[in-house]
Homo-oligomer: A and B are copies of this chain.
Amino acid sequence: MTPECGALPVIVQKYGGSSLANAKLIHNAAKRICSLKDDGTDVIVVVSAMGDSTDSLIALSSAVTGEATPDAREMDNLLSTGEMVSATLMAMALNTRGYGAISLSGGQAGIKTDSVHGSARIADINTDRLRRELDNGRIVIVAGFQGLSDSGDITTLGRGASDTTAVALAVAMQAKRCEIYTDVDGIYTTDPRLTDRARKLAEIGFLEMLEMAALGAKMNPRSIELGAVYDMPIYVASSFSDEPGTLIHGGEQTMEIRKAVTGIAVDRNVGKITVRGVVDRPGIAAGLLQPLADAGISIDVVLQNTSSDGTTDFTFTVAQADVDAAAEIERNQTNVEFAEVVAGTDLAKVSIVGTGMENAPGYAARMFSTLAAAGVNIDMITTSEIRITTIIERSQVQNAVEALHDAFELEKTG
């Protein structure tokens, strides 16, 4: 896996579906690829399916299966064609520009996965063919989002996982970096649709980005994880402009004096379930949460109050869309005795994120006092080492974000 002596540096570029939605956009991306190749770089390009073609394929399968859930293996076979189409078209676009290019399916690119159809994990990458094609002077286009299981069946890595393909290939090929071109132009201090105070970050650390991604920023968290584990720098930028984007990296190269808080993540679709009067005994959490897991409902923030008089209140948040189903499940569960189930909706999750907060006291206090001064009532609180999360009323989100953005001076760089 070590690059041979004299081999060119490798850069992996990934283009999302909206960046490849038609022939003009494909050529737009091709132009960027060619100029990177001209710089004396070996280029591997990972592509998503064009525009909304994945949705079209899903609609086709629904038309055939009706109410029934399509077989996961067949669905993988079906969906994987979307990325193959854009990969071949990109290779053709590069060819017409006079550049040697070859498209490879995930399997042909050596991406081996486990056999969990629909959400396979990459087990290994055999880089022989990639290396050979690069050594032949070719630009290699790899269909994202897919691999091949041991049984020779096509697997997919889960929706949005073309980012994961790109980072994994960058790691396997010991690339200089992985570049993700998409329809957003970088990572912002907070959602720019919420406030014009939002500022694009020139760089962000992996751990901070992981929290931001998990909290709603438009990046695939698995790809960030992979980048963090293997220390592969990921550059996120817009394919529609030449504006500089954001470099996500391990942090060692950072020249800026780091600020404590890097950004504010917002999730505006939060619902809350409170199970009141739970008879307190070991196993409450499992008893209440397992039925939700069985029903495929993800829970987020979990909070259990200290017990008084032998009973306790157990509260957790779910996506707004899951509130009714979750409340119904809790009312009907028989694992745990309880008094009543109360559902709350129209909530939001606002988090401050930053590695600078780690081991540094006072940030939580500053966050809570800022929100109090802005008249924002905090419903729930949960923290990690580099994140403080509050659940508040949705109507208060803009108010809260602007107050926090000011308090932590996110408008200023460095």
Contacts and interface: CB of A to CB of B under 8 A. Distances in A.
A107 to B, nearest CB: 8
B68 A78 contact: no
Main secondary structure of the interface of A (DSSP, over half): helix
Interface in A20-46: 22-23, 26-27
Contacts of A60: 23, 85, 89
A51 to B, nearest CB: 11
B77 A65 contact: no
A22 B88 contact: no
Interface size on A, as a range, is 35 or more
Contacts of A96: 64-66, 68
A243 interface: no
Contacts of A102: 73-74
Given A91-B71, A92-B70, A27 B64 contact: yes
Interface in A76-111: 77-78, 80-81, 84-85, 87-89, 91-93, 95-96, 102-103, 105, 108
A57 interface: yes
Interface string A150-168: 0011100000000000000
Contacts of A22: 63
A152 B22 CA distance: 29
B66 A77 contact: no
A303 interface: no
A127 interface: no
Contacts of A105: 77, 154
A88 B77 contact: yes
A75 interface: yes
30 contacts: A23-B63, A23-B64, A26-B64, A27-B64, A57-B85, A61-B89, A64-B96, A65-B95, A65-B96, A66-B96, A68-B96, A70-B92, A71-B91, A71-B92, A73-B102, A74-B88, A74-B91, A74-B102, A74-B103, A75-B88, A75-B92, A77-B84, A77-B87, A77-B91, A77-B103, A77-B105, A78-B84, A78-B85, A81-B85, A129-B152
